[in-house]
A and B are shown apart, each in its own frame.
Chain A
Amino acid sequence: MHDVNTLAWIILLLPLLVAASILFGLKKMPGLSALLSTGSVLITLVCSILLFSATGKAVPVTWISIFEFKVNIGLLVGGDKDPLAKGMMFIVTFIGTLVHIFSLGYMKDDDGKARYFAGLSIFMFSMTGIVLADNLVMMFIFWELVGVSSYILIGHWYNKDSAADAAKKAFLTNRIGDFGFMIGILLVWVLTKQIEFAKFTPEIVANAAKSPLFDIAIIAIFCGAIGKSAQVPLHVWLPDAMEGPTPVSALIHAATMVAAGVFMLARVSALIGASELAATVILWTGAITALVAALMALQQNDIKRILAYSTLSQLGYMVMAQGIAGQGADAGMFHLYTHAFFKALLFLGAGAIIFGCHHEQNIWKMGGLRKKMPFTFWTFAIGTAALIAVPGTSGFFSKEGILHAAHAAGHDFPWVIGLIVAFLTPFYMTRLFIVTFLGKSRTENADHAKEVPQIMFVPLVILAVLALFSAYKPIAKFLQAKGYAHAPEIDPTFGWSLFGLIAGVGLAIWIYKGREKERINIPLFANKFYIDEIYNGLIAIFQDAIAGLLDFIDRFVIDPVVARFPAMTAFTAGSFFRLFQVGNLQGYTFLFGAGVVALIWFLLF
Chain B
Amino acid sequence: MPVYYLEIIVVVLGLVMLMADAFVKLEDKRNIAWFAVLVLSVVFLLLFKVSWPESTEGSPFWKFYDAEKGSRGFSLFFKGIAVLTTIIVLIMSAEFRGVLLKYTAKPEDGAHPQSGLSEFFTLPVFACAGLMWMASANNLASIFVSLEAVTITFYILVAYMRRNVGSLEAGVKYLILGALSTGFLVYGFTWLFGVTGTMDLAGIKEQLALDSVNVTAALFAFALIIVALGFKVGAAPFQNWIPDVYQGAPTPITAFLSVASKAAGFIVLLRISGCFFGSGDLSEKVGAVFVVLAILTLLFGNLAALPQTNFKRLLAYSSIAHAGFLLMALASPITLVADGKEPPLLDTSIGVIAFYLGAYLLMTLLAFLVMTAVRNQQEDDSLEGYAGLAKRSPFLAFSLLVSMASLAGVPLTAGFFGKFFVFKLAIQNGACGWLIAAGVIGAAAGFYYYFKVIASMFWNAPAEGNDGPIPVSMPAKVVMVLLIIAIFAVGIVPNLILGLIK
Residues of chain A touching chain B, judged by Cβ–Cβ distance below 8 Å, are: 61-64, 66-67, 567, 570-571, 573-575, 577-578, 580-581, 583, 585, 588-589, 591-592, 594-596, 598-600, 602-604
**When chains A and B are docked, how far (Å) is the Cα of A199 from the Cα of B445?**
42
Q: Is B495's CB under 8 angstroms from A604's CB?
A: no
Task: Find A570's partner among B243, B300, B306 (CB 8 Å cutoff).
Answer: B306
**What residues of A have a CB within 8 angstroms of the CB of B172 in the complex?**
585
Which of B292, B303, B424, B428 has most A Cβ within 10 Å? Answer: B303
Q: Is B177's CB under 8 angstroms from A592's CB?
A: yes
Q: Is A588's CB under 8 angstroms from B173's CB?
A: yes
**When chains A and B are docked, how far (Å) is the Cα of A591 from the Cα of B180?**
12
Q: Is B304's CB under 8 angstroms from A64's CB?
A: no
Chain A to chain B: the 3 pairs with minimum beta-carbon distance, closest first = A595-B237, A577-B304, A574-B303
**When chains A and B are docked, how far (Å) is the Cα of A64 from the Cα of B493?**
8
Contacts of B376-405 to chain A: CB distance below 8 A: none
Residues of chain B touching chain A, judged by Cβ–Cβ distance below 8 Å, are: 172-173, 176-177, 180-181, 184, 216, 219-220, 222-224, 226-227, 231, 237-238, 240-241, 243-244, 285, 288-289, 292, 299-300, 303-307, 424, 428, 441, 445, 448, 493-495
Given A592-B237, A600-B223, list of 18 further CB < 8 A pairs?
A61-B493, A67-B428, A573-B299, A577-B299, A577-B303, A580-B240, A580-B300, A581-B243, A581-B304, A585-B173, A585-B176, A588-B173, A589-B177, A592-B240, A599-B227, A603-B220, A603-B285, A604-B220
Can you list 22 contacts pairing A with B, beta carbon distance less than 8 Å? A63-B495, A570-B303, A570-B448, A571-B307, A574-B306, A574-B445, A577-B299, A577-B304, A581-B244, A585-B173, A585-B176, A588-B241, A591-B240, A592-B177, A592-B238, A594-B237, A599-B289, A603-B220, A603-B223, A603-B285, A604-B219, A604-B223
**What residues of A have a CB within 8 angstroms of the CB of B227 in the complex?**
595-596, 599
Q: Is B304's CB under 8 angstroms from A578's CB?
A: yes
Q: Is B240's CB under 8 angstroms from A61's CB?
A: no
Task: Find A603's partner among B243, B289, B307, B424 (CB 8 Å cutoff).
Answer: B289
> How many A-B residue pairs lie within 8 Å, measured between CB atoms?
87
Q: Is A573's CB under 8 angstroms from B495's CB?
A: no
**When chains A and B are docked, how far (Å) is the Cα of A153 from the Cα of B380?**
45
**When chains A and B are docked, how far (Å) is the Cα of A591 from the Cα of B222?**
20
**What residues of A have a CB within 8 angstroms of the CB of B285 in the complex?**
603
Q: Is A600's CB under 8 angstroms from B303's CB?
A: no
Task: Find B305's partner among A67, A574, A592 (CB 8 Å cutoff).
Answer: A574
Which of B237, B240, B305, B495 has most A Cβ within 10 Å? Answer: B240
**What residues of B have a CB within 8 angstroms of the CB of A600 in the complex?**
220, 223
**What residues of A have a CB within 8 angstroms of the CB of B241 in the complex?**
588
- Closest-CB distance, A12 to chain B (whole angstroms): 14
**What residues of B have a CB within 8 angstroms of the CB of A63 in the complex?**
493, 495
- Closest-CB distance, B307 to chain A (whole angstroms): 5
Q: Is A603's CB under 8 angstroms from B238's CB?
A: no
**What residues of A have a CB within 8 angstroms of the CB of B289 in the complex?**
599, 602-603
Check A574/B307 contact, CB under 8 A, given A66-B424, A600-B220. yes
**What residues of A have a CB within 8 angstroms of the CB of B238 in the complex?**
592, 595
* Chain A, residue nearest B176 (CB): A585
**What residues of B have a CB within 8 angstroms of the CB of A594 in the complex?**
237
**What residues of B have a CB within 8 angstroms of the CB of A581 in the complex?**
240, 243-244, 304
Which of A591, A598, A600 has most B Cβ within 10 Å? Answer: A600
**What residues of B have a CB within 8 angstroms of the CB of A575 in the complex?**
307
- Closest-CB distance, B208 to chain A (whole angstroms): 15
Check A588/B220 contact, CB under 8 A, given A66-B424, A570-B306, A574-B305. no
**When chains A and B are docked, how far (Å) is the Cα of A575 from the Cα of B493?**
38
Which of A588, A599, A600 has most B Cβ within 10 Å? Answer: A599
Q: Is B300's CB under 8 angstroms from A596's CB?
A: no
* Chain A, residue nearest B238 (CB): A595
Q: Is B306's CB under 8 angstroms from A571's CB?
A: yes
- Closest-CB distance, A294 to chain B (whole angstroms): 43
**When chains A and B are docked, how far (Å) is the Cα of A61 from the Cα of B292?**
39
**When chains A and B are docked, how far (Å) is the Cα of A68 from the Cα of B22?**
61
**What residues of B have a CB within 8 angstroms of the CB of A64 in the complex?**
494
Task: Find B180's partner among A66, A592, A603 (CB 8 Å cutoff).
Answer: A592
**When chains A and B are docked, how far (Å) is the Cα of A376 from the Cα of B231?**
79
**What residues of A have a CB within 8 angstroms of the CB of B493 in the complex?**
61, 63
**When chains A and B are docked, how far (Å) is the Cα of A30 from the Cα of B365?**
35
**When chains A and B are docked, how far (Å) is the Cα of A449 from the Cα of B395?**
48
Q: Is A588's CB under 8 angstroms from B219's CB?
A: no
**What residues of A have a CB within 8 angstroms of the CB of B494 in the complex?**
64
**What residues of B have a CB within 8 angstroms of the CB of A583 in the complex?**
244
Task: Find A589's partner among B176, B307, B495 (CB 8 Å cutoff).
Answer: B176
Q: Is B177's CB under 8 angstroms from A588's CB?
A: yes
Check A570/B445 contact, CB under 8 A, given A599-B289, A600-B220. yes
* Chain B, residue nearest A588 (CB): B240
* Chain A, residue nearest B172 (CB): A585
**When chains A and B are docked, how far (Å) is the Cα of A589 from the Cα of B176?**
9
**When chains A and B are docked, how far (Å) is the Cα of A583 from the Cα of B240?**
9
Which of A62, A63, A573, A583 has most B Cβ within 10 Å? Answer: A573
**When chains A and B are docked, how far (Å) is the Cα of A575 from the Cα of B300?**
10
**What residues of A have a CB within 8 angstroms of the CB of B240 in the complex?**
580-581, 588, 591-592
Task: Find B184's partner among A571, A588, A596 (CB 8 Å cutoff).
Answer: A596
- Closest-CB distance, B475 to chain A (whole angstroms): 19
- Closest-CB distance, A356 to chain B (whole angstroms): 42
**When chains A and B are docked, how far (Å) is the Cα of A117 from the Cα of B176?**
62
- Closest-CB distance, A449 to chain B (whole angstroms): 46
Q: Is A570's CB under 8 angstroms from B441's CB?
A: yes
**What residues of B have a CB within 8 angstroms of the CB of A67 in the complex?**
424, 428
Check A599/B226 contact, CB under 8 A, given A66-B424, A577-B300, A588-B173. yes
Q: Is A599's CB under 8 angstroms from B173's CB?
A: no
- Closest-CB distance, B462 to chain A (whole angstroms): 26
**What residues of B have a CB within 8 angstroms of the CB of A571 in the complex?**
306-307
**What residues of B have a CB within 8 angstroms of the CB of A62 in the complex?**
495
**What residues of B have a CB within 8 angstroms of the CB of A589 in the complex?**
176-177, 180
* Chain A, residue nearest B173 (CB): A585
* Chain B, residue nearest A567 (CB): B448
**What residues of B have a CB within 8 angstroms of the CB of A61 in the complex?**
493, 495
**When chains A and B are docked, how far (Å) is the Cα of A52 from the Cα of B237?**
65
- Closest-CB distance, A167 to chain B (whole angstroms): 23
Q: Is A602's CB under 8 angstroms from B304's CB?
A: no
* Chain A, residue nearest B494 (CB): A64
**What residues of B have a CB within 8 angstroms of the CB of A588 in the complex?**
173, 177, 240-241
**When chains A and B are docked, how far (Å) is the Cα of A594 from the Cα of B216?**
20
Check A602/B292 contact, CB under 8 A, given A570-B441, A592-B240, A595-B237. yes
**When chains A and B are docked, how far (Å) is the Cα of A603 from the Cα of B445?**
30
* Chain A, residue nearest B226 (CB): A599
**What residues of A have a CB within 8 angstroms of the CB of B441 in the complex?**
570
**When chains A and B are docked, how far (Å) is the Cα of A299 from the Cα of B495?**
55
**When chains A and B are docked, how far (Å) is the Cα of A581 from the Cα of B288?**
26
**When chains A and B are docked, how far (Å) is the Cα of A580 from the Cα of B242?**
12
**When chains A and B are docked, how far (Å) is the Cα of A64 from the Cα of B412?**
12
**When chains A and B are docked, how far (Å) is the Cα of A581 from the Cα of B493?**
39
* Chain B, residue nearest A580 (CB): B240
**What residues of A have a CB within 8 angstroms of the CB of B173 in the complex?**
585, 588
**When chains A and B are docked, how far (Å) is the Cα of A596 from the Cα of B289?**
12
**When chains A and B are docked, how far (Å) is the Cα of A338 from the Cα of B288?**
67
**What residues of B have a CB within 8 angstroms of the CB of A592 in the complex?**
177, 180-181, 231, 237-238, 240
Task: Find A604's partner among B216, B299, B305, B307 (CB 8 Å cutoff).
Answer: B216
* Chain B, residue nearest A599 (CB): B223
- Closest-CB distance, B225 to chain A (whole angstroms): 11
Task: Find B304's partner among A574, A591, A596, A604 (CB 8 Å cutoff).
Answer: A574
Which of B172, B181, B306, B424 has most A Cβ within 10 Å? Answer: B306
**When chains A and B are docked, how far (Å) is the Cα of A598 from the Cα of B180?**
17
* Chain B, residue nearest A575 (CB): B307
**What residues of B have a CB within 8 angstroms of the CB of A596 in the complex?**
184, 223-224, 227
- Closest-CB distance, A300 to chain B (whole angstroms): 42
- Closest-CB distance, B312 to chain A (whole angstroms): 14
- Closest-CB distance, B247 to chain A (whole angstroms): 10
**What residues of B have a CB within 8 angstroms of the CB of A66 in the complex?**
424
